[in-house]
Amino acid sequence: MNPSKLKDKVIVKALSQSVDVHGTVLDSYAEAFRRFAEVRPTRGREAYVNDQYLAEIDFVVSMRFDSDTSGITAKHELEYKGRRLRLIGEPVNVENQDSEIRIFCTVYADGR
């Protein structure tokens, strides 16, 4: 992995659950850690659904493999430039060498 490509700051968020006063379980994401990463857009799509345009962008996020990043699962979420990136499947340990992890993400253009 070329360290000069790790120019983007990414926040990794873990799913946390809490219970409100009415007993309802609330899901929220809390910051777990921050890392420098390479964030590359790979594909963009636009569809017309229910009289609305739905734009979606896919990204590949590459970062160094360490004790924190090795624990990233599909239940995590990334934040990049204020946008929530949702994981598509499980992260990939590149060539099983424990040096680089690749995460495939998607984001909707309206911020969902």
**Which domains does the chain possess?**
3-108 (2.40.10.270)
Mean pLDDT of 100-104: 94
Q: Is the pTM of this model over 0.85?
A: no
Whole-number pLDDT of residue 112: 55
Amino acid residing at 35: R
Question: CA angle at residue 81 from 44 to 110, to 5 degrees?
Answer: 50
Mean pLDDT of 59-78: 92
